[in-house]
Each structure stands twice: as structure tokens, then as C-alpha cells.
Structure 1
Amino acid sequence: MSELAAVAHVLRRTTFGPFPGQVEAAAGLGAAGAIETVLGAAALIPGEPVFDEDDAAGTDGAVGKWLGLMRDPSAGLHEKLVWFWHGHFTSSHDKADAWALMWRQHLVLRTHALGNFRELAHAMTVDAAMLQWLDGDGSTAAAPNENHGRELMELFTIGRGPYSQGDVRAAALALSGWTVTDDGRASFDAAVGNPRDTVLLGRPVRTAHDVVDALCDRPECARFIAAKLYLFLVGRPASDQRVGELAAAFAAARLEIRPLVEAIVRDPEFTTAVYERPRYPIEWTTAAFAVCEINDVARAFDTLTALGQAPFYPPNVAGWPPGMRWLDPGAAVLRAELAVDAPALPTIANAPDPVTAVLTRAGIYEPTTETLTAAKDLAFALRRYPRAQAAALLGFVLTTPEFILA
């Protein structure tokens, strides 16, 4: 693999790029240097959005603010992990009362994205948007709602299997007493909460924080999180042996996320696992809009909605599933339509070699023979119509395997 192709791969997996010119700017770093750069990049700090329930996808809305950060060339791995945790500790504005709740939860993810998993789990368990999303809001010891406890175990910490229905009931009881106040804050009322110890997975617990600690201390927790992060970043499932190694290191680091992530992206498997998974819609859309030079938040949100992965709107408590289902051939037309009247067309049309120009803009440095031949044939057929040629090439490249895979 060439150096430029290797750097492009690193940026595809660890950021929402690469964006035009970004790989060339990193020339000389190599894959290892690019990894160190994204690991060392400072976390971006968002401005306060405008909480307009009718225009959340506007430039100054919650969605717009986040998409702007994703498209920032200075964003490093931290930004990618903010997205990962949003798909792990899911909550949706479909059920949360207001954008202010969703944004405060978003800031929790930003604070802990590369921090400590236990602290993240503590904060998210009693987060107002999460309480509403998982029906923990208003759950009392007299009538505990089991949904919150079940999902905290199954989806957020230890995965399926190591708990019983009795453990679900115990978790629900210990999680009771939390409500969301009229001003959107989480509040605990001891008068309706759990008054005494109950047993969860063989351990006495009484409060929500006891539950989180009990789950984070389980060996299944380190394995569950390590395996999920590995799949997201590397693109293929880790072997049982590798999961065990990563989980042991994660547990030894007291569930600090950064050392786990560093171990994953510095593993040779990471740099060789090229095009092993789909470029998820949020990744594809952010990169494609940059390639096309389209800066329209509302259109980006519409595209993401059509592709099935709109920020702040996960489909269910399990978030967006991994896997090849995202490569729906029916989406090819939607993807290619971005090229129509794209602001980048004059740059491509005026290039000495439009094929090379469009591939480079898209971060494709080692196209397959099939892709390169098809692009050259297309360029030749439209050689007398530079703008139409540029639009056809751009639409084609946005739908190639090299661009829709990561």
C-alpha cells in the first residue's frame, strides 16, 4: 500500500475524512504518524447551539453544530469516539422532551469520549435524556420500571447472557427514584427511591451508582466494550484471544478508554484491515459533502435521514447496527445525486486530468483496475463536455467501493 493510501485509510477510520488536500498535507507522516496525529489532536469545543425545535438541522442548531465539528479538518479521534458513544449509549430526540436535554447529553459524551468508561457510564445512567429514553424517569421503588436496568446491562455494559430476570428486577429497584424536572434536570427523590440493599449479580446494591459499579467491575464489561470498539475501529471482529488481551489491558487501566483505543489503532491489524466495513452514512455523508464542496447542513441532515443514520435519532435502544446492510444498492442514486451542480465541478472540469483530480479529491489513491478503467471510459465518452464529464465522474466516484467502504 502506498503512503498516501495508508494515510487515507487511517483518516477514514479515525476521523470523518479524509477531506480534499488532507492526505497530501500529511505526506511524510506515514500511517504511524497519521495515527499519532489523530490521537494527539485536541478535542474540539462546540459553541452553544440554538435550541429551535423547528430548525434543529439549521447551521446553528444542535445537528448543525455537531456536523460542523465532524467536518473540521483539525478533528481527531476524539470526535470519532463522540459518535461511537452516541451509538452505544443511545438516546433519541424522538422521546427526549427538548433539544436542551439531548445537547447536555452530547456534552457528557464529549467530556468522557476518551476518558474513563466507568465515569461515562455513571454520568449517562442518570442523564436526563437517558432517563426519558429508557423510562427511568418516574420509576419508583414501589413500581420500578425494568427497561432502564435491562438495557444498562445488555447494551451498555456487560452484554447479553450473564444476568437473570432477577438481576433485571434488582437493577430496576436500585435505579428507581430518579425523575426529570420541569427545567430538564435529573433529580433523585429518596422518598420514592430504593430504601435498602438488593442483590445484583451476587453483589449488594442500593443506588444507581452501586449498579454501575457492580456492572463495570464484572469481567464481561471490559470484554464487551473492547470487542465493540475493536469492531468499530478495525472493521472486523477481534479473535477471542485478542479480545481477552484488550480486555485485560482495559481492566488493568481501570477502564480508561484512551489506552484501549491506542492499543487498537496501533495494532498492525488496524492498518491492514482496509475496506473491511461500510463507510457508515455519517462518515460517507460528511466526506462526500466535503469532496463536493457542499456546505448545506439541512441537505446533509436530509441525506443522513434518507440513508438511515441521522444524529440524535438512533432507530432504537441498540443504536445503528454494524454490517454490510448499509451498502444498499438502492442508495446509489441518492449518493450520485450530490454531484449534480456540486460547487467542486469547475475544479474537476478544469484539471489537466479530471480522472486523477476526482479520485484524489475523494482520497482514493489506489483504485482497482475496474474502477480506474470505468472512470477513464466515462471521461473519454464525455470528453467534449467538460462540466458533464466532471459531474459524471464525481457521481461515479461517490458510489465506488473505494468510497463507500472504510
Structure 2
Amino acid sequence: MPNNTCLKGGLQPYVPSPEKPWDERRIHHLYNKLSNGAPLNLINAAKANTPSKIIDYLFTTALSHPLPGEIRSGVKTIDYSYPWKEQDIAEDPDAYYKYLELVHMWFNGMVTEGLRHKLVLFWSNHFVTTSDATGNRPTWVFQYYWILHNYALGNFKEFVKAIGLTPAMLIYLDGRYNYAGNPNENYARELMELFTMGVGNYTEKDIAEVARSLTGWNILYYEKVAGSGNYFVGPLKVGEYKMYRYNHDWKNKNIFGKSVGNFGGVVPADDTIAATKAKTEYDSLHDVIFDVKKREIATFICKKLYKYYLYNDPPTDIINGLADVFIASSFDITTVLKTLFKSEHFFDDASIGISIKSHIDNQIHFFRSLDLEPGKDYYKYKWINGAFKNEVPDPVNFPNAGNRDALSGLYYQTANLGQTLFNPINVAGWPGHRAWLNEFTLVNRWRYNRDQFDYYLYYDWTKEKYRSFLKSLTNNSTDPDLIVRKVLAYFITIDMPIEIVETAVGVFKATVPANYFLNGTWNLDYNMVPRQFMDLMKYIITLPEYQLL
């Protein structure tokens, strides 16, 4: 793998040239990075457009997709987030199934929509909480998931402000236990160390002052009612939180040399006034952080985005340039990502195929590249008259549909490999890069991919999809060498050595009598073609280069 001195090109817009053509390799590179692959029809369509237009289209489409819990039909928005808006008590026997429904929704979105869902995976590994910490209460997990989608492509400062008051975060990093006179510094520390500016850009005194500014925030679940103890005030909706005025520190705080929350130590007369003042202080706190530490924040976030999308060792000049763009755009996420993806640097040969797939990348890439649906027999849970029931498939009103068995398979396979949606391994998230691969994970990646190949070979509609894919990819070629080269180039963006190509051709031809290729008996209508394709794919997934994106 390269070091950052091997990576070339600047942030100026990429202009196709004979040396850097807008070809299938670069189109695959773009879709792999932004969406974990794309079906052949999108790859072919991209050839007739400019890279800039394709990127603009992908972002516009991502922004137009419904947020979790809504469907857009013309100007009408239909709310179907009902499984997560019911009372959500610990004894709820259906809580785990509601949680799985969210997992299924996310996996299906990664397969069918791509860009925003892949970016949400990044943000879930940045603003880490866990469903386990909330007791798998799907209402709170859903709120967190909704926030990730709502701000994924928006303003980063507003994103930080929103995430800090979600029930999931207030629980995970102990914000609910942050009281005046006895501040809990967990969230204040991670706000600066992991969520905004990184280690070395603040002091322990800064942490203490930020923690004081954040005292008193809690979730409605812990509101007391005489004689009933803690109870659930619901159904909770996104953005609901509570300021407990006697738990907030109303004295002045000095944060990075700026005065924040100077209310003279006087507790407001009622909860409404207290909530307004505390929210004003909350916003001011973030304004100070983003004003005083704008360069540190921009550099830290751009470096993390670069590592996620391109390579683990970012060039300093590229990061500095992206940070300039991020600051100039007032921390607009879409602007900085478009700058990277449209750049000469992004499309340089040295930037292609150099990042290691995560376990989820690996599985989603298979589905998207072959245009496979998770399934056709989807049914959806629905809360009806106090009971959790199955709903008849409705692809018109429920376009986020997918097959529960296939989606559960994706969830359990990736979880077994160590990447569980809604449950990163610790507050710092999955480390990524080389940590994805070891003897256990590599062998089981092969096994799970093989299982998928066999599963989809079982169905006639999928078998014929494989055949159609090969015909479209190769212009219905009868040359097995050309077919294999095309398949290798479709799934791997690195030029393969001749000995690998020859071995792959041998695998593809192995189940067919040799003379059939010579006398014209064999073509892509031959009955064994789907099996040949699967055998070839089972070989390709064992190549080290297949693990790269």
C-alpha cells in the first residue's frame, strides 16, 4: 500500500485527459467510494456524463431521499415510523424486533440508495453511541438514527449541537448525570477529543468548563411523577429533551477565553425560562468552540473523512486545502465532500483501489455491483391496537422494503465479523484500515460471500440476472478470456497480473468440456453459465485485491 508521498494531484477539479481518462475504472472508483459500488446500467450511463455532473446528481439524489420514517410521494409526506413512536418500556416484549427493523431499514438503504447511508455509517462511527447502552430501546435508537440522516450532508456545527441532546448520547456518555456542583466530564471530553478537534487542542481546564456549561440536560424518561417513580413521557419525538433547572450551573464559564452562560448564579423562576436560557447557553458554547477552534476542527474532521473514503495516511496539503474549504463554507459537509470527490487527487491513479473494505462495505458491494435486491417477499412490522403484527407487502407505500431473511443475514454476518450496526466497539469507534482483516475475518468473509453466491444461485430470477449481467458486460461475447477480464475489471479496480487472469479463466472454463469453446457449442446462453460465473466469483473473492475498494 502507498504512503502519502505516493498520492498525487491537488484539489483542482479533475479534467479527463488521455493520461487520466474518464473510463470504466474511474467510474467504478467513484461509485465504490461514494456508494459501495453500482449496478452495470449506472456504470454505463456515467460514461456519457462528466464526472462533475455525476457527482452533483449523486448528492442531489441522496438529499432527496426520504429520511427514516417518512415517504415522499409528490409533495405528500407519509409518516410510517410507528414502530418507534409507541411507549418504549424496558418490559416491551417487541423492543428487540423493533430494533431489528431499524437494522433492516439501514442495510436495505445501503443496498438500494447508497451514498447517504454509507456516509451515515461514517457518522455513526464518529458520534458513537450504542443501542446496548439504551437497553435497545428502539425509540431512542431511532431518534439517533434519524439525526444521523438529517445532518449527514448538512452543517457540521448544527450536527454536533443536535447529537449532544439525543437520549442515546445523554445516556451513553453520562450527560444525564452531569449536575451543578458535581459535573460529569465524559461528554465534554469526547465532544472535544473525538467529535470536534482531536487530542492536544484543549486543556483539562477547558473540559471542566465545558462540562459545567452542559449541566442539567436530561431525557424525559427520567422525569418524576409523584407516586409513580421514573416513567416514560411519550411517545418521544426527535429533539425532545429536558433542562432540570436546579441541576444546571448558572454561574459564568470561561471557555477558550470566552465568557459563556453568565447568569450570575441565579436559578430561573420556572422551567420554561430555564430551558430557554440553557438552550441559549448551549448554542453559545458551540459557537465559541467552532469560532476559536475552527482550524483544528476543520482539520480533524477532514482528516477523518479522507481516511474513511480514500486512505489511512492523508497528505497534509490535501487536508489543509479541504480544511480551508470546510471553514469557508461554514462547515458544510456536502461542500467539502464534493471538493474532494471532484478533485484531480481523487481521480489520480495512485488514489484508486487503496483502502481496505470494512465488513459492511464488503457485503454491500456484492449486492450493489450485481444489482441484487435483498429479496421480494418483504413484510413489515406494524403496531396495531397494542399488538405487533405483520403487514402485507406494499412496495408503493413502503419503498424501503427488503427481505427480512436476507437483511438479517447481512446483520448477523457483519456482526459476527465485528461490525455491528448501532454498536461500535468503543467510544472511539472501529479503527478500520488493517484492523478489518485477520485470519478469522478474512476466512469468514470468503465463507459469507460464498453463501450469498449459492443462495442467489438457487433462484431462477437471480440466475438469469447473472446471465444477463455477463451479456451486458461483455456485449454477449463468446470469448471466455475476454469475459473473465471484464469481470475482473468490474470487481477489482487494480490491473491484475497475467497469471491471475489465466487462473481465473481456468476456473471459469473448468465445468465445461474444452471442445465446447472451440466448436461453438458454448456461449452465454449455455445452461451452466450462472454456475460458471459463481465459480469465478468464488475465486475472485479470495484475491487480496478484492478486499480493496
Shift in Å, 1:346: 3.1
Q: What 5-or-longer segments of structure 2 have no aligned partner?
A: 1-20, 70-79, 85-93, 222-232, 262-280, 375-405, 471-477, 514-527
Higher mean displacement: 5-14 or 88-97: 88-97
- C-alpha distance 372-164 of structure 1, shift in aligned 2 (>3 A): same
Match of 2:445 among 332, 335, 359: 335
Q: Which residue of 2 aligns with 1:277?
A: 355
**Equivalent in 115, 118, 134 of residue 80 of structure 1:** 118
Normalising by structure 1, we get a TM-score of 0.89
Q: Deviations over 1:159-212 (max 9, x none)?
A: 000111111111111111011122454211122111111122222223433332
Secondary structure of 2:456's counterpart equals coil
2:106–2:117 Cα contact (<8 Å) kept:
no
Q: Does residue 39 in structure 1 map to residue 59 in structure 2?
A: yes
Q: CA deviation at 1:281?
A: 1.7
Structure 1 residues 91, 151: CA separation in 2 closer, same or farther (over 3 Å shift)? same
Partner in structure 1 of residue 548 of structure 2:
405
Give 1:215's aligned residue: 289
Residue matched to 1:137: 176
Once residues 309 and 530 of structure 2 are traced to their aligned partners in structure 1, the CA distance between those partners, rounded to angstroms, is 37
Pick the aligned partner of 1:379 from 508, 519, 529.
508
Q: Find the counterpart in structure 1 of residue 108 from structure 2.
A: 68
- Say if 1:9 and 1:274, in contact at 8 Å, map to a contact too: yes
> In structure 2, what is the equivalent of residue 189 of structure 1?
244
Distance 2:479 2:218 in 1: 62
SS of residue in 2 equivalent to 1:199? strand
| 2:164 counterpart of 1:109 | no
| Aligned amino acid, residue 287 of structure 1 | H
1:19-44 Cα shifts (integer Å, max 9, x gaps): 35432343323544432332332432
User: Is contact 1:277-1:324 (8 Å) kept?
Assistant: no
Letter of the 2:450 partner, please give it: A
Matched, 1:263 2:339: yes
Match of residue 309 from structure 1:
419
Per-residue deviation, 1:321: 1.5
Distance 1:378 1:230, change over 3 A: same
For the Cα contact (< 8 Å) 2:216–2:244, is it kept in 1? yes
Q: How far 1:78 sits from its partner (Å)?
A: 3.1
Matched, 1:202 2:331: no
**1:231-250 alignment, distance < 5 Å:** 231-250=307-326
Closer, same or farther: CA 189–389 of 1 in aligned 2, 3 Å: same
User: Equivalent residues in 2 for 1:151-170 (5 A)?
Assistant: 151-170=190-209
Cα deviation, residue 368, structure 1: 0.6
1:16 pairs, out of 8, 25, 36, with 36
Distance 2:134 2:56 in 1: 37
Which secondary structure does the structure 2 equivalent of 1:130 belong to? helix
Are the structure 2 counterparts of residues 400 and 155 from structure 1 closer, same or farther at C-alpha, using a change threshold of 3 Å?
A: same
Paired position in structure 2 for 1:175:
214
The answer to whether the Cα contact below 8 Å between 1:149 and 1:172 also exists between their aligned partners in 2 is yes
Q: 1:343 to 1:211 in 2, by over 3 A?
A: same
- After superposition, the C-alpha distances for 1:228-266 in whole angstroms (9 at most, x for unaligned) are 112222224333233222212211221122211111111
Task: Give the corresponding residue for 2:271.
Answer: none
The answer on whether the counterparts of 2:28 and 2:490 sit within 8 Å (CA) in structure 1 is: no
* Aligned-residue CA RMSD (Å): 2.7
Q: Match of 1:86, as an amino acid?
A: S
Task: Choose which of 396, 399, 402 in structure 1 pairs with 2:539.
Answer: 396
Q: Bigger radius of gyration, 1 or 2? A: 2
Say whether 1:368 aligns with 2:496.
yes
CA offset at residue 215 of structure 1? 1.9
> Does residue 463 of structure 2 align to residue 346 of structure 1?
yes
Segment of structure 1 superposing worse, 345-354 or 256-265 = 345-354
Change (3 A) 1:294 1:398: farther
Q: Mean alpha-carbon deviation: is it higher for 5-14 or for 382-391?
A: 382-391
Alignment-derived partner of residue 525 in structure 2 = none
Match of 1:124 among 163, 166, 171: 163
- TM-superposition CA deviations, 1:87-143 (whole Å, max 9, x none): 111111010241111111111121111111111111011111111111111311121
Question: What letter matches 1:222 in structure 2?
Answer: A
**Per-residue CA shift, 1:374-395, capped at 9, x if unaligned?**
3112223333576654433222
Distance 1:83-1:311 versus aligned 2 partners, 3 A rule: same
Deviation at 1:371, TM superposition (A): 3.7
- How many residues align? The count is 402
Report the Cα distance in structure 1 between the residues aligned to 2:41 and 2:353, rounded to whole angstroms.
21
SS in 1 for 2:125: helix
In structure 2, what is the Cα distance between the partners aligned to 1:399 and 1:197? 61
Contact 1:146–1:168 (8 Å) recurs in 2: yes
Please say which of residues 293-302 and 326-335 is displaced more in the overlay: 326-335
The gaps in structure 1 that reach 5 residues or longer are none
State the distance in 1 between where 2:242 and 2:157 align.
Answer: 20
Percent identity among equivalent residues? 26
Q: Provide the C-alpha distance between the structure 2 equivalents of 1:205 and 1:23, rounded to a whole number of angstroms.
A: 52
Alignment check: 8 A CA contact 1:39 1:77 kept: yes
* TM-aligned CA deviation for residue 364 of structure 1: 3.9
Q: Is the contact between residue 233 and residue 264 of structure 1 (CA under 8 Å) also seen in structure 2? A: no
In structure 1, C-alpha distance between the alignment counterparts of 2:106 and 2:369, rounded to whole Å:
19
